[in-house]
Amino acid sequence: MKLEEIVGQLFILGFKGKSIAGNNPIVSDIKKRNLGGVILFDRLLANKENQNNIESPAQVKQLCKSLQNASSSPLLIAIDQEGGMVKRLKSETGFPETESAGELGNHDDPTRTAIHAAATAKTLNTLGINYNLAPVVDLNIFPDNPVIGKINRSFSADPECVIRHAAIWVTEHKKQNILTCLKHFPGHGSSQTDSHLGFTDISKSWQEAELIPFQKLIHQDPKKPIDSVMLGHLYHGGLDTQYPTSLSKAVVGGLLRGQLGFQGVVITDDLQMKAITDKYGLEESVCIALAAGVDMIIVGNNLEYDSGFLERTIPEVLRAVKEKRISEDHIYAAWQRISHMKAQLRIES
């Protein structure tokens, strides 16, 4: 496979529309640029539209089938389906209701969590969605956190409770052939601002205990390793004085790969969040992330819509490789990790 085709595999992109009929640009990205994955959203925030990729169960199932058929290799079809307030598949469009992580953690009933996790995973499996960007394993350290605690995305402030319920979530998804993602490394639970909206500094609020769920889940079952870990767009001066955690070699290579020993896919949160775009250009942040050791990059095309992103960015990445700003060996290693993760999936056409 050519290097430019491998680079295409390192991205998950959002797109417009309930179908990919006609000249939807995402088809060109899949067929011509070997796109690694897509992400589905219920709304298109960039255009203030209340409907985007999700209208009904039958429509989503057909969309996923069309997307998968457009790809010559297994396509990741990702979604944020945590339950509670953070879900793209909502009851008003015909999907089952599930409790939030906060509610499940408060009950602290493993059976209840297993039932909700299994229901979520079964729904995704039926639709053809194969990658749930969950569970959240952030500790609920600051309950008024606008993006975690306040909207019940954390199971608990207790690491052991978080580990207990997140492990059940991962297990139930594996049973349904759904990949999962621990987020948001190195811990978003103590933050006091929202990285969707701007710079988020956790230098003073972050606690080392926030690493415990990641560390223990990574090593809990060597026979069933964690598929992926998502990096938060967080600034911690004690970890990296220059870059936020999602663009930091010290965090990716030193902390996550080195200290915690994670061998799976490292993925960014959406690079269109203001915590990144307020300071870096999109193509620039992609190159910095890959140079830092990130394997896969999400560009949601939701906060802003940019149909030409991948066509414009692949040449920028290739130029950075040629100029030795990004290691070519890392590009191949990232592709191998992504391919290994995809190999676990049983794709039905």
Q: Which residues are catalytic?
A: 196, 269
* Cα gap 138→77, rounded to integer Å: 24
Please report how many Cα atoms fall inside a 13 Å half-sphere around the Cα of residue 283, on the Cβ side.
14
* Cα gap 62→80, rounded to integer Å: 19
Using CA of residue 290, residue 293, residue 295, residue 301, what is the dihedral sign? negative
Tally the residues of the chain. 349
229: exposed, middle or buried (Cβ count in 10 Å: 0-12, 13-18, 19+): buried
Contact 267, 181 (CB under 8 A): yes
* Cα gap 326→320, rounded to integer Å: 6
List, in sequence order, the alpha helices (H) in the chain.
3-8, 25-31, 57-70, 101-107, 110-127, 159-175, 212-220, 249, 274-277, 282-292, 309-322, 328-342
